[in-house]
Amino acid sequence: MKVKLEDVAKRAGVSPTTVSRVLNNRGYISDKTRQKVEQAIEDLNYYPNDIARSLFKKRTNFIGLVLPTINNPFFSELALYIENICSEMGYKVILCNSLLQMDKEKAYARMLIGHQVDGIIVCTYNRGVEAYKQPKLPIVAIDHYLSPTIPVVGSDNYTGGKMAVQHLIDRGCKSIIHINGPVELETPTQMRRKAYEDLVENPITYELIDLFDEEYEAVSIRRILKKHPEADGIFASDDLIAATCLKVANELNIRVPEQLKIVGYDGTATIKRLLPHLTTIQQPIEEIAKTSVSKLMNLIENPDCNETLETFLPIELLINETT
Amino acid sequence: MKVKLEDVAKRAGVSPTTVSRVLNNRGYISDKTRQKVEQAIEDLNYYPNDIARSLFKKRTNFIGLVLPTINNPFFSELALYIENICSEMGYKVILCNSLLQMDKEKAYARMLIGHQVDGIIVCTYNRGVEAYKQPKLPIVAIDHYLSPTIPVVGSDNYTGGKMAVQHLIDRGCKSIIHINGPVELETPTQMRRKAYEDLVENPITYELIDLFDEEYEAVSIRRILKKHPEADGIFASDDLIAATCLKVANELNIRVPEQLKIVGYDGTATIKRLLPHLTTIQQPIEEIAKTSVSKLMNLIENPDCNETLETFLPIELLINETT
DNA sequence: GTGAAAGCGCTAACAG
DNA sequence: CTGTTAGCGCTTTCAC
């Protein structure tokens, strides 16, 4: 049997109430009693049961974090910051990889609500998860609109897209291709696409249907590059796609940046480390994490507060050797 | 106020027990009653409170996952698999980034125990976290020895190291350098180092003290390469270090693989995608995840079972253009 | 300063 | 087939 508060009380020769008081530093306790209790806690190697505490307090200090897959440098960096900040504040993070599947995301939402999480941070792109519509459930979305009442935190994707494309133009590109994920997902990359289409005269946008199949991705990009020998610039909607473009260009003996210039998007620490020569748009990932958590905490502490519904943090163009 | 089981019972005109029974599919219930209850659940949009359930059952279906940082391709891939498997089995994962700091790790351990997790998977390298020694707390360690009674799952690091070094030798390298993390951390990379030192005549091993500071890492590697112009092979203890070697070699105009051959270690999906030309030792990450989870589940279901204490899964040499 | 008692939301004997 | 009751481990009024 696990040691419980009552055992500590018995051992210290006091009542459960008293033990609870020293545990929570509440009310008046004589030094002597406090010491007896602390001694008993140590002797018995007692760990307070947070489940029982949560049940009573109706506060679990749990946060749900729902993202497409943690195995993506952007999300893993975001998750690292979010978890770090939360743990500093005494919150614990439940990790959920939705794999962009609606049924999984719904199941996660139910699970999180059942577990009485104090709030949820969602960075995945499925609308219509009814469970998120629980009244009074604090939610913050990263980089996409979940519903009209849920605050969104993200970076300025439209400006980011413009900066990327303008940079290619400035570098002399005449024929710029854009490669993006599926349109039907309401991802932030759609704003990057829009910027591209607004800036370029004859936009040529390609969609990669399955973002999780890199084999397919490489094949598609090979096809695209073969079909467009005139292309001298690529704006990829994220760095992983840019990396594949780089690889394919290499295989096809297309010299980068001489014949073809490539700009990615995200600028994670991992990319900067593994692909330091990639020109990219860097998102303020740490700021996004901080802002989301602080908004969520605000919503939790103060349920009726009117959080600003949209926050777009500035991005930065990192010029390297691929342009 | 949140809807609770009692509200559902009232609405359906039955007792709480009955509601609980339909929720858990236990005992006999007439179809009529079941339907009334289900209707009430839907009407009220009721979500059972798992906290209360856990308190009663003494089972939370929570798993703690402690790792150095999720923002590392190896750990994020591992975490993805682990979380996926757990969620299939109805378990939820609490993410903990220890950042290799002892005090953080201790705090996480206390937190996890306080939250009554059913088990913990630890992939970080600090021994001496007393809290892990809670009797009857199911723990599985990935890739390192936590204590004599805790099962370890990992890949065959010694053989992996040998394969890497032998490959360099086979490719004609005469002067091979090894670059590793700090020795005092009891990481699995120490076995890779040992293999290197056993295989090479005049081993030259360098330690990078701060694994989180890439600036420092690049500077150190630059110094190493300048000091050893005779070096024609590098065995890096992980792919991130290998990537930095590649970058530095590039800056110093050392041609890879002609003048210098480089082998990394880990072979994550991310590396294969971003650095497809890197020769590396690929770990069976999905297998490691599966094995760890299944061992942990076994320990949870069957506390006195004698799990095999060591499981080492086979690795694979991926030959690419850096050798 | 300290304790007794009620209750957080749910489940499982045990009756009927 | 269904309801009554007690209790999971903790916290908090309210007395003393």
Q: Are B95 and B192 within one domain?
A: no
A17 to chain B, closest Cα gap in Å: 19
Worst-scoring range by mean pLDDT, A260-274, A306-320, B24-38, B62-76? B24-38
Residue A216 pLDDT: 87
Does A55 fall in a domain? no
Gap from B218 CA to chain A (nearest CA, Å): 10
The answer to whether residues B107 and B84 belong to one domain is yes
Same domain? For B292 and B151 the reply is yes
Query: B24: Cβ under 7 Å from strand C?
Result: yes
Q: B interface mutation test: which of A57, A80, A241 has the most B CBs within 10 A?
A: A80
- Nearest protein residue to the C1' atom of D8, measured from CA: B56
Q: What pLDDT does residue A27 have?
A: 77
Q: Which helix (H) or strand (E) holds A140?
A: strand A139-142
pLDDT of residue B307: 79
Confidence of residue A267 (pLDDT cuts 50, 70, 90): very high
pLDDT band at A174 (very low <50, low <70, confident <90, very high): very high
The DSSP call for residue A50 is: H
Protein-to-nucleotide distance from the CA of A5 to the C1' of D3, whole angstroms: 32
pLDDT at position A38 is: 92
What whole-number distance in Å separates Cα of residue A113 and Cα of residue A120? 9
Q: Which residue in chain A has the smallest CA separation from B107?
A: A87
Quick check: A185 pLDDT over 80?
Answer: no
| Best mean pLDDT range from A28-37, B32-41, B233-242 | B233-242
> Is there contact between A80 and strand D, defined as CB under 7 Å from any strand atom?
no
Decide if B94 and A93 are in contact by the 8 Å CB cutoff.
yes
**Per-residue flag: B14 CB under 7 A of strand D:** yes
Q: List all nucleotides in chain C with at least one atom under 7 A from a protein Cβ.
A: 1-5, 7-13
Determine, yes or no, domain membership for A54: no
* pLDDT tens digit sequence for B115-125: 999 999 999 87
Residue B57 lies in a domain: no
Would B56 be classed as within a structural domain?
no
A29 contact to strand C (CB, 7 A limit)? yes
Is the pLDDT at A211 greater than 80, yes or no?
no
For chain A residues 83-122, those near strand C by a CB cutoff of 7 A are: none
Distance CA B45 to C1' D5 in A: 28
Does residue A317 fall inside a structural domain?
no
A175 and A243 belong to one structural domain: yes
Task: Clarify whether residues B189 and B276 are in a common domain.
Answer: yes
**This model's pTM is above 0.85:** yes
CATH at B33: 1.10.260.40
Q: Is residue B54 in a domain? A: no
Model confidence at B138: pLDDT above 80: yes
Q: Which pLDDT belongs to residue A238?
A: 93
Residue B120 CA distance to nucleotide D6 C1' (Å) = 33
**A57 belongs to a structural domain:** no
Question: Residues of B with CB below 8 A from A60's CB?
Answer: 51
A54 CB neighbours strand D below 7 A: no
B33 touches strand C (CB under 7 A): no
For residue B135, pLDDT over 80 is answered with no
Do residue A267 and residue A293 come from a single domain? Answer: no
Taking residues A303-317, report their average pLDDT.
88
What pLDDT, on a 0 to 100 scale, did the predictor assign at position B263?
Answer: 98
Same domain for A278 and A305: no
Residues 6+ apart with CB under 8 A from B53: none
Strand D proximity: list residues 50-109 of B with CB under 7 Å: 52, 55-56, 58
Per-residue pLDDT, averaged over A33-51, amounts to: 93
Average per-residue pLDDT for chain A: 92
pLDDT at B190: 86
pLDDT at A304: 80
A292 vs A208: which has the higher pLDDT = A292
Q: Closest-CA residue in chain A for B45?
A: A134
Does B273 contact A244 at a Cβ distance shorter than 8 Å?
Answer: yes
A50 closest-nt by C1' vs CA: D10
In this prediction, residue A242 carries a pLDDT of 96
Q: How crowded is residue A221: how many other Cβ atoms within 10 Å of its Cβ?
A: 24
Residues of A in contact with B76 (CB under 8 A): 70-73, 76
- Name residue B142's beta-bridge partners: B153
Evaluate if the CB of B28 falls below 7 Å from strand C.
Answer: no
pLDDT, tens digit, 9 for 90 and up, residues B199-216: 999 899 999 887 677 788
Q: Are residues A277 and A292 in the same domain?
A: no
Query: Going edge to edge, which strands form the sheet with A176-180?
Result: A204-207, A176-180, A233-236, A261-266, A279-282, A316-318
Is residue B141 domain-shared with residue B166, that is, in the same domain?
Answer: no
pLDDT at B57: 94
Judged against a pLDDT cut of 80, whether residue B183 lies above it is answered with no
Question: Residues 49-88, chain A: which have Cβ under 7 A from strand C?
Answer: 52, 55-56, 58
Inform me whether the pLDDT recorded for B179 exceeds 90: yes
> pLDDT category, B41, cuts 50, 70, 90?
very high
Question: Residue B61: which pLDDT band, with cuts at 50, 70 and 90?
Answer: very high
Q: Examine the domain organization and report whether B70 and B138 are in the same domain.
A: yes
Nucleic acid strand D within 7 Å of A59 CB: no
Q: Which residue has the tokens 């770090």?
A: A84
Domain that holds residue A70: 62-155+285-312
Q: What is the mean pLDDT of chain B?
A: 92
pLDDT digits (tens, 9 = 90+) for A282-296: 999 999 999 999 999
Is A318 domain-assigned?
no
Per the structure, the count of domains in chain B is: 3
Q: How far is CA B290 from CA A118, A167, B60, B183, B308, in A?
A: 30, 45, 21, 29, 15
pLDDT value at position B152?
Answer: 92
Q: Is the pLDDT of residue B235 over 80?
A: yes
B75-101, pLDDT tens digit by residue? 999 999 999 999 999 999 999 999 989
Q: Which nucleotide is nearest to B18 (CA to C1')?
A: D2
Shortest CA distance from B94: residue in chain A:
A94
pLDDT digits (tens, 9 = 90+) for A69-123: 999 999 999 999 999 999 999 999 999 999 989 999 999 999 999 999 999 999 9
Within this chain, do residues B213 and B255 fall inside the same structural domain, yes or no?
yes
Q: A148: pLDDT confidence band, cut at 50, 70 and 90?
A: confident
DSSP string over B122-173: E-S-----GGGG-TT--EEEESS-SSTTS-EEEE-HHHHHHHHHHHHHHTT-
Same domain for A70 and A145: yes
Q: Is the CB of B49 under 7 A from strand C?
A: yes
Identity (one letter) of the amino acid at B85? I
B47 — pLDDT class (breaks 50, 70, 90)? very high
Note the pLDDT of residue B132: 83
Question: Nearest-CA residue of chain B relative to A131?
Answer: B45
Residue B131: predicted pLDDT: 82
As a whole number of angstroms, the distance between CA B158 and CA B266 comes to 13
pLDDT for res B125: 79
CA count, 13 A, side-chain hemisphere, A60? 27
**If you average pLDDT over residues B253-272, what whole number do you get?**
96
The predicted structure's pLDDT at residue A213 = 77
Which of the 200-239 residues on chain B come under 7 Å of nucleic strand C at their beta carbon?
none
Taking CB atoms and an 8 Å limit, are B269 and A69 in contact across chains? Answer: no
pLDDT bin (cut points 50, 70, 90) of residue A29 is confident
* CB within 8 Å: A247 and B276: yes
Q: How far is CA A195 from CA A155, A199, A201, A298, in A?
A: 14, 6, 12, 33
Query: What is the structure's pLDDT at A147?
Result: 84
CATH number where A296 lies: 3.40.50.2300
Contact assignment for A80 to B65 by CB distance below 8 Å: no
Give the helix ranges, DSSP H, for A200-251. 214-227, 239-251
- Host H or E run for residue B245: helix B239-251
